[in-house]
Each structure stands twice: as C-alpha cells, then as structure tokens.
Structure 1
Amino acid sequence: MLGLAFAMASPPGGASGAASNPFAQFIPLILMFAIFYFLLIRPQQKKAKEHRSLLEGLKKGDQVVTAGGMHGKVTDINDQVVTIEVSPGVNIKFNKGFIASIVKKD
C-alpha cells in the first residue's frame, strides 16, 4: 500500500510532466486577499470613516447614544471628552469615541 502512494506522488524536485508557472502559485493568495479586502477590510474602513464624520459633526444640544447604551443630551464638548446630560442636573463625561450615534439634532 505504501509503495502505491510513492508511485502516485510526483518525482523529487517537484518536476512533473509540464513546467509549472511560479505566478500560478500566487493566484490563490491573491484571490484570498481580494476576498478579505472586499468582505472585511473595505466595509470596516467605510464604517470607521462614517463614525469619524459623526464625531466631527457633534455639537451641543444633540441627543446621542453611547456605545454602552446611555442616552442623553450633549452639554459640553472638549477635544476628547463629551459631557452628556442624562437627567436634569446629572452630567456624565464620556470619551468622544464612545458616542455611537446621534438620535436627534437640535
């Protein structure tokens, strides 16, 4: 049985009857990269760009939702910190990156 497996294998050195193209070995890798790019990388970059534009357009009075699900109204914006009023007189500070969406603009 083992002798049959060796008989069916290609000869040492990888030389078979036809000459192999070295570029043909990279085609599967190129295809896998293209699939990953269009299914994973590109949509993620698009979503990150939309989130950056959302944060740049953030202003006082906007009703927002944080990544943790906290709803509130923006009362102050600094460089990296946003103060949100969740109830009259209750202000909470969040990192600007944790603002998930704007519910309503005033």
Structure 2
Amino acid sequence: MSLISNAYAADAAPAGGGFEMLIMLGMFALIFYFMIYRPQAKRVKEHKNLMASMGKGDEVLTSGGLVGKITKITEENDYISVELNTNNEIVIKKDFVTAVLPKGTLKSL
C-alpha cells in the first residue's frame, strides 16, 4: 500500500489562450508608445527647434547651470561662444543649451 496518490496530467489549455496573449502584448505596446516614446520624441523636437532659433545676443541657460549671452555661433561645428560676464567667455556645444531666457534676465540676476 502506497501513501502517495497517483498524479494525473491536467487537461489541455483552453482554446483562445494565444489570442489573449496577443491582445495583452498589443496593450503593452500602446502603453509604451503613449507614456514613453511619444513624450520623449516631443521633447527632442522642441530642443531641436530651440537650437535652430538661437541667435547672437540671446541670453541662455546651459545644462551646467551657467547663464550668459551668446556672442558667436559657428554653424559648421554647432558650437557657440557664451559671455558669462565682461571677463569670461566660454565655448560650448549648442546641445548643452537648455533654455533661451527672456531679454534682461542677466541684468536682473
């Protein structure tokens, strides 16, 4: 006499299981698109428009937190010269500008 009962295989999975899985994958793809990809693409487009609209004399904020006025733009290399004050001028890539500030911001700081 054995104390262990016999094990029997369960019935096959119900029909339609693969279709439900496809619906779930489709829903995850939609969530990914609307919550991650689309907002990021919008931010990239806005940043490209910002870089294209910069001009000499604009007051800018860099990603490093520096505030200054653009004195020179080199179109071929995508670099700009930013004057921090009358004695200091730096050269940075256009990509590192996070915002163009309203005129007169430097005088108010």
TM-score by length of 2: 0.79
Judging changes above 3 Å, is the alpha-carbon distance between structure 1 residues 88 and 31 closer, same or farther for their aligned structure 2 residues?
A: same
Secondary structure of the residue aligned to 2:84 is strand
Q: Over residues 85-106 of structure 1, what are the superposed CA-to-partner deviations in whole Å (9 max), with x where a residue is unaligned?
A: 0001321000110000000258
**Identity %, equivalent residues:** 35
Aligned with 1:83 (options 81, 84, 101): 81
Runs of 4+ in 1 over 3 A off after TM superposition: none
Secondary structure of the residue aligned to 1:76 is strand
**Structure 1 residue 29: Cα displacement:** 1.2
Which residue number in structure 1 is paired with residue 102 of structure 2?
A: 104
Q: CA RMSD in A?
A: 2.3
Which residue number in structure 1 is paired with residue 31 of structure 2?
A: 35
Q: Over residues 24-53 of structure 1, what are the superposed CA-to-partner deviations in whole Å (9 max), with x where a residue is unaligned?
A: 211111111111111111001001100000
Question: Which sections of structure 1, spanning at least 5 residues, go unmatched?
Answer: none
Which residue number in structure 1 is paired with residue 91 of structure 2?
A: 93
Distance, in Å, in 2 between the alignment partners of 1:54 and 1:105 is 16
Give aligned pairs, total.
Answer: 99
Q: How does 1:65-84 map to 2 (within 5 A)?
A: 65-79=61-75, 80-84=78-82
Preserved CA contact (<8 Å) 1:61 1:105? no
- Alignment-mate amino acid for residue 72 of structure 1: G
**Structure 1 residue 73: Cα displacement:** 0.1
